[in-house]
Amino acid sequence: MNTVKSEKIYSEGVITRLSQYLKYIVQLKELGKRTVTSKDISKNTSINSAEVRRDLIYFGIRGKRGVGFNIDQLINEFNRILGYGKQVRLALIGAGNLGKAIINYKMLDRFGFKVENVFDNDVRIIGRTIAGHRVLNIYEMGKVVAKKGLEIAILAVPPHSAQKVTDMLVKSGIKVIINYTSVPVKAPSHVNVQTTDPIEKLLHTLYYLSHTGFTK
Query: What is the spatial distance between Cα 155 and Cα 135, in angstroms, rounded to a whole number?
Result: 15
Q: Tens of pLDDT along the chain (216 residues)?
A: 444 444 567 888 898 899 899 989 988 988 899 999 999 999 999 999 999 999 999 999 988 888 999 999 998 888 888 776 667 899 999 999 989 988 988 778 777 788 999 999 999 999 999 999 999 999 999 999 999 999 999 999 999 999 999 999 999 999 999 999 888 899 999 999 988 655 666 776 667 667 665 544
pLDDT value at residue 199: 65
CATH 2.40.10.120 fits 12-82, yes or no: no
pLDDT value at residue 10: 83
Q: Among positive and negative, which fits the CA dihedral 31, 49, 112, 179?
A: negative
What values do phi and psi take at 68, rounded to 5? 110, -150
Q: Write down the CATH number for the domain with range 88-211.
A: 3.40.50.720
Return the domain boundaries, the chain.
12-82, 88-211
Query: What is the spatial distance between Cα 112 and Cα 126, in angstroms, rounded to a whole number?
Result: 26
One-letter amino acid identity for 92? L
**Do 4 and 63 meet the contact criterion of CB atoms below 8 Å apart?**
no
